[in-house]
């Protein structure tokens, strides 16, 4: 790879002429522009992104923040968003943090570097906020329901609706004793899906029953004691773990117990395409994110999660 100075020497022109050719600016002939572009291609010339950002006064880097890089779901979601950003000439760089304080430090650093934006999975179970100077310097987008912070964009589906629609789907298939299985951490999605689950059952005079992952050693006893016929899991990974535990105990899915997940992320479905699930609208979230970065936020809400029929939920 050669520099713009070396390209100018090869073309026997000034760097200014090279710059005009590469950026299609006036001041040179078509013949000269074509010759410079041809020689640039022949020698594998690529613009220095740092130099380009300095000249344009803005960065092409969009920071991604997530509590753990081991979250397959969020890595898949960031990948979907990244493809949309690529089309805008932006580059997503994802990093992790281990506390609200570390998250704020990274946000402040990205703002100081004049990043184009930040897309974040915010801290869970900790009080946090974002200083006004950070929010005024770049768009900050949260992928979860977040505190009412002025200037912060929240982009996510209606998770109360997710819990409601999932539970109604199971009820329509004849299930009345439905267990909600979620994680111990009280994330916004956990709380909101639980609210939707409880509302769907209450409307039909049915009793909610909630179990956390740390209590799964009691799963079989709970199924027997309460006559559970369906389990609504917080995500597909938890659904898969549930199915394995049921199968190990000799219970068939869905003949004995139906299991429903949420997410339908590409990595999970490439490994296991049998779990009936609620599809998370990753593509639509990516559209909302790019619209915000273009200064034209969409006026409609993010699409809701939708039922995907596979093989782990049956009718009774």
Asked if residue 293 belongs to a domain, the reply is no
Domain count, the chain: 2
Q: Is the pLDDT of residue 218 over 90?
A: yes
Asked if residue 1 belongs to a domain, the reply is no
Asked if residue 173 belongs to a domain, the reply is yes
Asked if residue 77 belongs to a domain, the reply is yes
- Residue range 179-195: average pLDDT? 93
- Residue range 247-254: average pLDDT? 98
Q: Is the pLDDT of residue 46 over 80?
A: no
Contact in structure between 243 and 312 (CB atoms under 8 Å): yes
pTM over 0.85: no
pLDDT band at 79 (very low <50, low <70, confident <90, very high): very high
Distances (CA, A) of 284 to 76, 222, 290: 14, 38, 10
pLDDT in tens, 98-123: 999 999 999 999 999 889 999 999 99
pLDDT over 90, % of the chain: 77
The reported pLDDT for the residue numbered 174 is 98
pLDDT band at 185 (very low <50, low <70, confident <90, very high): confident
- Quick one: 165 and 267 in the same domain? yes
Domain boundary (127, 154, 181) is at 154
- Quick one: 166 and 184 in the same domain? yes
How far is residue 7's CA from residue 33's CA, in Å, rounded to a whole number?
A: 13
- The domain in which residue 94 lies consists of 58-154
Q: CA geometry: angle at 102 spanning 268 and 98, to 5°?
A: 40
- Quick one: 84 and 194 in the same domain? no
The reported pLDDT for the residue numbered 129 is 87
The reported pLDDT for the residue numbered 3 is 82
Asked if residue 135 belongs to a domain, the reply is yes
- Quick one: 120 and 164 in the same domain? no
3-state secondary structure of 230: strand
Distances (CA, A) of 295 to 65, 116, 292: 21, 12, 5
Asked if residue 44 belongs to a domain, the reply is no
How far is residue 249's CA from residue 257's CA, in Å, rounded to a whole number?
A: 12
- Quick one: 210 and 191 in the same domain? yes
- Quick one: 138 and 191 in the same domain? no
The reported pLDDT for the residue numbered 70 is 81
pLDDT band at 302 (very low <50, low <70, confident <90, very high): very high
- Quick one: 98 and 200 in the same domain? no
The reported pLDDT for the residue numbered 198 is 98
Any idea what the CATH number is for the domain that residue 72 is in? 3.40.50.2300
The reported pLDDT for the residue numbered 47 is 65
- Residue range 133-162: average pLDDT? 92
Domain boundary (154, 177, 210) is at 154
pLDDT band at 52 (very low <50, low <70, confident <90, very high): low
Asked if residue 39 belongs to a domain, the reply is no
Residue 152: phi, psi to the nearest 5?
-90, 130
pLDDT over 70, % of the chain: 96
Distances (CA, A) of 307 to 127, 167, 170, 174, 202: 34, 11, 10, 16, 21
């Amino acid at each position: 790879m050669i520099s713009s100075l070396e390209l100018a020497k090869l073309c026997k022109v000034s760097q200014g002429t090279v710059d005009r050719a590469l950026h299609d600016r006036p001041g040179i002939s078509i013949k000269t522009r074509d010759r410079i572009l041809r020689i640039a291609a022949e020698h594998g010339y690529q613009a220095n992104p740092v130099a380009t950002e300095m000249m344009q006064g803005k960065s092409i880097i969009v920071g991604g923040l997530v509590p753990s890089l081991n979250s397959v779901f969020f890595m898949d979601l960031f990948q979907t968003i990244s493809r949309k950003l690529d089309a805008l000439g932006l580059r997503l760089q994802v990093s992790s943090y281990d506390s609200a304080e570390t998250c704020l430090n990274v946000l402040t650093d990205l703002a100081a570097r004049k990043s184009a934006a930040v897309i974040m999975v915010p801290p869970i179970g900790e009080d946090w906020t974002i200083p006004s100077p950070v929010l005024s310097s770049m768009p900050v987008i949260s992928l979860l329901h977040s505190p009412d912070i002025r200037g912060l964009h929240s982009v996510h589906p209606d998770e109360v609706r997710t819990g409601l629609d999932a539970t109604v789907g199971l009820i329509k298939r004849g299930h009345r004793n439905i267990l909600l299985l979620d994680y111990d951490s009280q994330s916004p999605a956990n709380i909101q899906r639980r609210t939707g689950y409880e509302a769907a059952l209450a409307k039909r005079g049915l009793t909610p029953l909630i179990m956390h992952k740390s209590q799964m050693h009691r799963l079989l006893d709970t199924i027997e004691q309460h006559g559970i016929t369906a389990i609504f899991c917080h995500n597909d990974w938890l659904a898969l773990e549930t199915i394995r535990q049921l199968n190990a105990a000799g219970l068939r899915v869905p003949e004995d117990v139906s299991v429903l997940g949420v997410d339908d992320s590409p990595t999970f479905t490439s490994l296991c395409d049998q779990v009936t699930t609620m599809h998370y609208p990753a593509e639509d979230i990516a559209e909302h994110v790019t619209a915000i970065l273009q200064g034209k936020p969409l006026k409609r809400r993010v699409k809701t999660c939708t039922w995907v029929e596979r093989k782990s939920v049956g009718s009774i």
